[in-house]
Amino acid sequence: MDAPVKKNDIVEVEFVDLSHEGAGVARVEGYTLFVPYGIPGEKAKVKVLKTKKGFGFGKLLEVLDESEHRITPPCPIYDKCGGCQLQHLTYERQLVYKRKLVQDVLERIGHLKDVTVHPTLGMDDPWRYRNKAQVPIGEREGGLIAGFYQKGSHEIIDMDECLIQEEANDTVVQQVKKIALKYGIRAYDERSHRGTLRHVVAKYGRQTKDVMVVLVTKQKDLPNRKNIIKEISETVPGVKSIVQNINPKRTNVIFGNETRVLWGTPYIYDTIGDVKFAISARSFYQVNPEQTKVLYDKALAYAGLNGEETVIDAYCGIGTISLFLAQMAKKVYGVEIVPEAIEDAKRNAELNEMTNVDFEVGEAEKVIPAWYDKGIKADVMVVDPPRKGCDEALLQTIIDMKPKRVVYVSCNPATLARDLKVLEEGGFMTKEVQPVDMFPHTTHCEAVAKIVLNSNDAEI
Ligand code: SAH
């Protein structure tokens, strides 16, 4: 419909919903306006910023009738940063919002009306949960700054602490900033492609308290290298590993291809439950290990293993779920597209002395049908795809293979709903869905679904 409002109009609205990006949704004569920081139930004065055919965007000028769920965001730079979207909402309400998000798409996209969606499992203390910081470095007035790119731009805003980040990671960034300045290290400048230090990456093992410091530089040569290493190793508590990654390219991608250990070990370690993981500078590891345990426990419960099953873990990454499941299964096969992740997965299997797991590099939608042709058939299939969801060919293989149960771990409720519909049409039934809050204060929503084969409903 044509917009009943135009740019720069100031209108009074009432918010009726939250969008999947966390913005307040208002209707003006049936026309939808998305307004960041609006909360359902609130009346507000809004300035129209942009109008399109079916919907537009506005800016919150003044809340006229405040929601009981509104709080003052604890972070002083919340509105500039863009890393969090929901800090103005009580945590309790954020969990309600994420459950509703899942319910809505299951109904709208999946046409699944009667599926139980449990209340979101949240954190007791939803702050300081991230175990990895990736911070761009810049310069201002002769000093070094480290922080984040301002929302919608590439201007770096200096920041000393991030409230969703482990304090150990904040300490790394503050120390590196000081030490690099002392030894005259210049920040890399995107525009001129000059300077040295591009990013500081800090990783932290929540259980082990190990710290890794990664300096991403444009060139291999790091002036005053010895002194810098010495000071980092002496002043960063818990540091076990200092690594340099070299990225000579003009690119937004953080890491380059070359990595070298400057001091200490090439890995740090962490554990999830009883499983130990080695974390290297570039390997993927879940950023909220506390909630990862909650998620995996749920996945394990949904898998319903008794030690006799063959399990396939599609999109296995570094084998986190595979190894978790291998504790309870006869055999686990993991498949993942990134070769380095599979190397990590194999190493992690060795580290835990697990011999009942096999990992293969490749596309899940090609490797799993090939396994099926060779006679490998899963009793339980676990999938944890990226945001775009499962490939159709993989869903078809699952339908043909008929595992007793499918456990679907999803970071995007919309594609989860789409894929559940396909599985339902192929003879499966979605039993229940559990949202787990892996990323408090952001709109990211993780959920795990239990799906069973219709014919053996009785024995579940
Ligand atoms: N299960 C892992 C990682 C999940 S993230 C964990 O919990 O840590 C999704 C993973 O799917 C990524 O590691 C990505 O590299 C991989 N991936 C993306 N497309 C794929 C495909 N077509 N086949 C196999 N793996 C794929």
Residue 314 CA from chain centroid, whole number: 18
411 is catalytic: yes
Asked if residue 327 belongs to a known ligand binding site, the reply is no
Q: Integer distance in angstroms from the first to the last C-alpha of the chain?
A: 49
| d(C-alpha 456, C-alpha 460), whole Å | 7
The pTM is what? Answer: 0.93
Cα–Cα distance list, 358 to 307, 336, 349 (Å): 16, 11, 9
Asked if residue 78 belongs to a known ligand binding site, the reply is no
**Which residue owns the Cα nearest ligand 1 atom 1?**
316
| d(C-alpha 329, C-alpha 309), whole Å | 5
| d(C-alpha 90, C-alpha 16), whole Å | 17
Nearest to 131 by CA among 330, 12, 291: 291
Nearest to 453 by CA among 258, 242, 270, 304: 304
Helix, strand, coil proportions of the chain in percent (round to 5)? Answer: 25, 35, 40
Identity (one letter) of the amino acid at 61?
L
Q: Which residues contact 12 (CB under 8 A, 6 or more apart)?
A: 43, 44, 45, 46, 64
> From edge to edge, which strands make up the β-sheet containing 380-383?
116-117, 428-436, 446-453, 405-410, 380-383, 310-314, 331-336, 357-361
From start to end of 194-290, where are the E strands? Answer: 197-204, 211-217, 239-246, 258-264, 268-272, 275-279
Nearest to 46 by CA among 71, 22, 28: 28
SS3 395: helix
| d(C-alpha 399, C-alpha 428), whole Å | 8
Identity (one letter) of the amino acid at 290?
E
In the reported structure, the alpha carbon of residue 42 is separated from the centroid of ligand 1 by a whole-number distance in angstroms of 40
pLDDT given for residue 460 in this prediction = 46
Annotated catalytic residue within 84, 390, 411, 445: 411
pLDDT given for residue 217 in this prediction = 98
CA angle 459, 329, 410 (to 5 degrees): 80
In the reported structure, the alpha carbon of residue 308 is separated from the centroid of ligand 1 by a whole-number distance in angstroms of 26
Asked if residue 315 belongs to a known ligand binding site, the reply is yes
In the reported structure, the alpha carbon of residue 317 is separated from the centroid of ligand 1 by a whole-number distance in angstroms of 5
pLDDT given for residue 152 in this prediction = 80
Q: Does the Cβ of 292 fall within 6 Å of ligand 1?
A: no
Q: Does the Cβ of 348 fall within 6 Å of ligand 1?
A: no
Domains and CATH numbers, the chain: 10-65 (2.40.50.140), 95-124+288-459 (3.40.50.150), 132-268 (2.40.50.1070)
Question: What is the biggest distance separating any 2 CA atoms in the chain, rounded to whole angstroms?
Answer: 71
**Which residue owns the Cα nearest ligand 1 atom 10?**
315
pLDDT given for residue 82 in this prediction = 83
pLDDT given for residue 1 in this prediction = 66
Cα–Cα distance list, 79 to 12, 39, 62, 75, 95 (Å): 22, 15, 15, 9, 21
Asked if residue 155 belongs to a known ligand binding site, the reply is no
Q: Does the Cβ of 408 fall within 6 Å of ligand 1?
A: no
Q: Does the Cβ of 336 fall within 6 Å of ligand 1?
A: yes
In the reported structure, the alpha carbon of residue 427 is separated from the centroid of ligand 1 by a whole-number distance in angstroms of 25
pLDDT given for residue 456 in this prediction = 52
Q: Does the Cβ of 393 fall within 6 Å of ligand 1?
A: no
Residues of the chain with pLDDT under 50: 457-460
Q: Does the Cβ of 386 fall within 6 Å of ligand 1?
A: yes
